[in-house]
Copies of this chain bind each other. A is one copy, B any other.
Amino acid sequence: MVSEPLRRLQEALQELPGIGPRQALRIAYFISSLGKVRITELARAILRLTELRTCTQCFLTHEREGAFCAICGDETRDQLTVTIVERETDALSIEKAQIYRGRYLILGEVRRDSELSIEQKIRLNSLLSFLKERGGALEIIIAVNQTMYGELAAERIEEYAKSHTKKITRLGRGLPTGGEIEFADPDTLAHSLKNRR
Contacts and interface: CB of A to CB of B under 8 A. Distances in A.
A61 B3 contact: yes
Interface residues of A, number: 50
A63 B5 contact: yes
Interface string A22-41: 11011111111100100111
A137 to B, nearest CB: 22
Contacts of A30: 16-17
B26 A89 contact: yes
B26 A17 contact: yes
A47 B52 contact: no
A158 B41 CA distance: 39
A95 B48 CA distance: 38
Q: DSSP majority for the A interface?
A: helix
A60 to B, nearest CB: 8
B16 A27 contact: yes
Contacts of A44: 43
Interface of A: 1-6, 8-9, 12, 16-19, 22-23, 25-33, 36, 39-52, 61-63, 70-71, 87-89, 91-92, 95
30 contacts: A1-B71, A1-B91, A2-B92, A3-B62, A5-B48, A5-B49, A5-B52, A5-B63, A6-B49, A8-B45, A8-B48, A9-B48, A9-B49, A17-B23, A17-B26, A17-B27, A18-B26, A25-B92, A26-B87, A26-B89, A28-B49, A29-B88, A31-B49, A32-B49, A32-B61, A33-B61, A39-B50, A40-B50, A43-B43, A43-B46
